[in-house]
Amino acid sequence: MSTSIVALDIGTSKIAVIVGAITDDNEGIELIGHGISPSKGLQEGIIVNIDQATTAIAHAKKRAEDMIGGNIDSAFVGVSGKHISSCTADGRVRISRDMVSDTDLRRVKSSVLERLGLSDDVWVLHTLPKEYIVDSRRGIQDPRGMTGTFLDTLMHVITCDSNLVLNIEACLDRCQLKMDGVILEQYASAQAVLDNDELELGVCMIDIGHGTTDIAIFFKGALQHVFTMPIAGGTVTSDVAAYINVTKDQAELIKKEHGCALAKLAQSGEELFVPSTGGRPERKIERENLSRAIEMRYQEIFEVIKGVLEKNGYLQNLGAGIVLTGGGSRIEGLVDLAEEVFDRTARQGMPGGVASLHGELQRPDHATGIGLLNYAHRNAPDDKYGGNIINRTVRWVKSWYDQSF
């Protein structure tokens, strides 16, 4: 499968293996198959049971292989969860031959990581340049070919606990899969749902999954900040289950079919029937009351995010507003609620950038999986060179630069 890319989205509610074929001109990707399985052994985006997670991944892999009629032996994997960290760091090197080369870019990237002094239990996911400075000339996006004495950079470095990646790798080994690269999930999702104008003007992408809500903030074409919250779509489902006394599976269905994230949009007096336990007859509840319970939790999520944006000075730079994606964003009224809370324009982000998208893969639930394909196609050489401090020491010599949009 030398002309194919495989994405593995390991979510709290589902495992998705998505296969794309690189077009003959190498300019794009065409979807050729996928396999989806209910997720097991994960909590808030983190593997907590190796055996269960392995079984779920193997089922999704088998379904994808059946669809494409071939074997899958490697994949690019998305990661998320509370162990993700990010910071901005600087580095400086003397330009080797008076003109900035790829070697200088590698050296200045290495100087950033060396200054951070990361321990062996830290896995570097991404090193994303915010700007380069050649002597006193600032705001440079690509300094190659420029003359000068010193090359400085300001980079956004995203890391995670090495054990998070090693546990994923353990599951993949049991499924006879190699790990081509590890990508931060919200950064991958952005590749599928955001356009270049939004990245330049400033945008906050909120990816609401089942176990986590992942946030990525972009401005002037660069990733500025990321963070993850353990409150997400599954939390809303639990609220619904507790409010109307039904199982979580029943609550999930009711939320999707009848839920609304802005109670004032629900018609007053509108009623719906919900199941009872023990053979009792169905009960009637008002949709407006159900929507209030849903709205309260989504508003809490948005208010926490808004607080982070305000604290770090990002809210004023969101010229393109808010983009909502992920399975938890697929509910009536959520875009309207986002516009009220953030006082910015908002839209729902649907995955794109891959040809032949159809069916369920067109939904925001699969923004991460489709984004992994897009990211891998654009940046595959870099992702071969992530890893912990021991592996990075060897790989810096081999790596090449291309970590910006």
The answer to whether residue 217 is domain-embedded is no
Planar angle of CA 40, 45, 47, nearest 5 degrees: 55
> Which of 372, 351, 391 shows the shortest CA–CA distance to 76?
372
The answer to whether residue 256 is domain-embedded is no
The answer to whether residue 204 is domain-embedded is no
**Count of domains in the chain?**
2
Same domain, 137 and 20: no
The token pair at 388 is 């912990």
The answer to whether residue 303 is domain-embedded is no
The answer to whether residue 330 is domain-embedded is no
Looking up tokens 């409010």 gives: 243
State yes or no: pLDDT of 55 exceeds 50.
Answer: yes
State yes or no: pLDDT of 399 exceeds 60.
Answer: no
The answer to whether residue 30 is domain-embedded is yes
Same domain, 72 and 117: no
Same domain, 67 and 184: yes
CATH number at residue 56: 3.30.420.40
Q: CA–CA separation, 101 vs 325, rounded Å?
A: 38
Same domain, 23 and 51: yes
The answer to whether residue 78 is domain-embedded is yes
Same domain, 56 and 178: yes
More confident residue, 381 or 152: 152
Query: pLDDT over 70 for what percent of the chain?
Result: 93
The one-letter amino acid at 261: A
Q: CA–CA separation, 255 vs 235, rounded Å?
A: 12
The token pair at 42 is 């994960």
State yes or no: pLDDT of 395 exceeds 70.
Answer: no
Looking up tokens 């994960």 gives: 42
Range of the structural domain that residue 127 is part of: 85-159+387-395
Same domain, 42 and 93: no
Same domain, 181 and 73: yes
Same domain, 74 and 167: yes
pLDDT tens string 310-369: 999 999 999 999 999 999 999 999 999 999 999 999 999 999 999 888 888 999 999 999
Residues in CB range of 19: below 8 A, 6 or more apart = 1, 4, 5, 6, 7, 31, 32, 33, 34, 64, 67, 68, 72
Q: CA–CA separation, 377 vs 20, rounded Å?
A: 10
CATH number at residue 141: 3.30.1490.110
Region 169-197: mean pLDDT is 96
Same domain, 16 and 139: no
pLDDT at position 380: 60
* Mean residue pLDDT across the chain: 90
pLDDT at position 386: 41
Q: Which letter, b or e, does each residue of 53-85 get, where b requires 16 or more Cβ atoms within 10 Å of its Cβ?
A: bbbbbbbbbebbbeebeeebebbbbbbbbbbbe
pLDDT at position 23: 86
pLDDT at position 383: 37
Whole-prediction pTM value? 0.89
Same domain, 141 and 109: yes
State yes or no: pLDDT of 404 exceeds 50.
Answer: no
The answer to whether residue 35 is domain-embedded is yes
The full DSSP string for 62-103 is HHHHHHHTS---EEEEEE-STT-EEEEEEEEEE-TTSB--HH
Question: CA dist 366 to 7, 349, 358, Å?
Answer: 11, 11, 11
Same domain, 175 and 78: yes
The full DSSP string for 228-285 is EES-SHHHHHHHHHHHHT--HHHHHHHHHHH-BSSGGGSPTT-EEEE--STTPPPEEE
Region 371-390: mean pLDDT is 64
Same domain, 8 and 132: no
